[in-house]
Amino acid sequence: MSETDLAAVGEGHLAYLRRMSSDDMRARFPAAKSIEPGLNLWALFSADGTPLAVSDDRGSILASADENELQTVSTH
């Protein structure tokens, strides 16, 4: 199964939660340049890697996933 096929399996149903620094967010996603550097954040991504939400509060990210009926998994 290709990486694209694997991502499509969970699309609209699965999202992954990842702890990352605002510096990483700013480097990976040009639209995130307005985020203050030096912060520890939680990010929610769709199964295909599209960023869905970012917060410094893990609970609000989980609530966002729940509101959108997404099952969350964590990455390391």
What pairs with residue 15 in β-bridges? 46, 72
| Domain residue spans of the chain | 3-74
Residue 73's pLDDT is what? 83
Q: What is the pLDDT along the chain (76 residues), one digit of tens a residue?
A: 566 655 555 566 789 999 999 999 999 888 888 999 999 999 999 988 889 999 999 999 999 999 989 998 877 6
35 φψ region: left (φ > 0), alpha (ψ -120 to 50), beta (else): beta
Residue 2's pLDDT is what? 65
